[in-house]
Amino acid sequence: MELRRATGTRTFLTPPKREKGPDYLIAHACFDCRKSWKVRADVSARCPCCGSQLHEMGRSFKTPKKGDDEQWEKVRALWSAGFRFSSYRSYPSAEPLPERLRDVKDFVRRNPDHPFRITR
């Protein structure tokens, strides 16, 4: 075998390099522009439109329509209270996030230990 390697008739088979998989993208929103983008979770992203800081919303965030003032205010209020938008698959007994802005204060008060709340 050493003679084959020396003459070049025996080559080493090296395993192919594993390529890094796709980035894990998380929804980020700009409250000023009322738009959202999926961005890597480990970066501090800026809005491509206005340059303000993007806010990490969570994997299950659904962007409201740009003209829906109430829904954007609800999303901002929930984000400010420390809630993020995640899948209920892991927490089926968790109370769903409120659908209306008027219900946010009561929801935040009732759920100090909600699994989607990352800050207190």
Q: Mind listing the pLDDT tens digit for each residue in 15-68?
A: 667 666 667 889 999 999 999 999 888 778 899 889 899 999 998 999 999 999
Rg (CA), the chain: 23
Asked if 89 and 120 touch (Cβ cutoff 8 Å), the reply is no
Can you give the pTM of this predicted structure?
0.75
- Rounded Cα gap, residues 27 and 89, in angstroms: 18
> What is the token pair recorded at 100?
């209306």
For 31, 64, 78, 85, the CA distances from 69, given in Å and listed in that order, are 11, 9, 14, 19
